[in-house]
Amino acid sequence: MSDQAAKDRPGRRAVLQGLLGGAGAAVALPLVADDHPVHLHLADAGRVEQAAAKAKDAAAKPEFLDEHQLASLGALCETIVPGSVASASDRFIDQLLAVDSRENQSRFLTALGAFEGEARARFGRPWKALAEAQRVEVLTAASTMELGTPPRAGRAAPPKPAPGTVNLRDHFEHLKGWIVGAHYSSEAGMRELGWTGRSFFTSYPDCPHPGKHA
């Protein structure tokens, strides 16, 4: 990259300031529910800049997750949104979680642990050791389950959700929100959505990975 090209690159904070300073986080990240914790993080440009800077150091130890959890998150990221590990979404999420509330931290760990448990139950291996086809199998099952419905082995059509019940679909949606928010707030992610580097959208075109995290 030339010195001029490097100078012209806006960086994550400038991109987000342009997006969030206009129509707000709900327009900037329409692929994530507007009550998801990631929205509050991405609305804070200073927090984003600090987290993104630390996330660039692939050799640095995670600040909130342990090494096993980070590897599991990385495998989830890449299966749900291909290219999200290259955009350091896993390490970016770790940095955001490190300054999040205990409630949000606990919810994230519960969701991550649910997929770890499912991997071991189905295949006898940790999530990070699963083959791509095995990860897709679990995520497909999770994403097609009724929200809030306890999983039932061998049932093609799960029953209607029981009030207050959380299941693998709920955990999938929660983790997906973090991953989609992290990746598509990066320069690489926004370029996938058509951002040119010099202009900002008031709305986004369709996501290029609908089959991965729809």
Degrees to nearest 5, angle at CA 46 with 44 and 48: 70
pLDDT value for 195? 64
Residues 188 and 174: beta-carbon distance below 8 Å: no
Please provide residue 189's backbone torsions phi and psi, each rounded to the nearest 5 degrees. Answer: -65, -40
pLDDT value for 78? 94
pLDDT value for 125? 97
Q: What are the tens digits of pLDDT across the range 120-168?
A: 999 999 999 999 999 999 999 999 988 884 444 444 444 444 555 889 9
Distances (CA, A) of 19 to 127, 138, 176, 197: 35, 34, 21, 12
CB atoms within 10 A of CB 155: 10
Distances (CA, A) of 51 to 12, 13, 56, 84, 87: 10, 10, 9, 15, 13
Residues 212 and 77: beta-carbon distance below 8 Å: no
- Cα dihedral 136/92/196/19 (nearest 10): 110
Kindly state the DSSP code that residue 191 receives in the 8-state scheme: H
Q: What are the tens digits of pLDDT across the range 18-77?
A: 444 333 333 345 567 778 898 888 878 788 888 988 998 888 899 999 999 999 999 999
Closest CA to 94 of 56, 51, 40, 43: 51
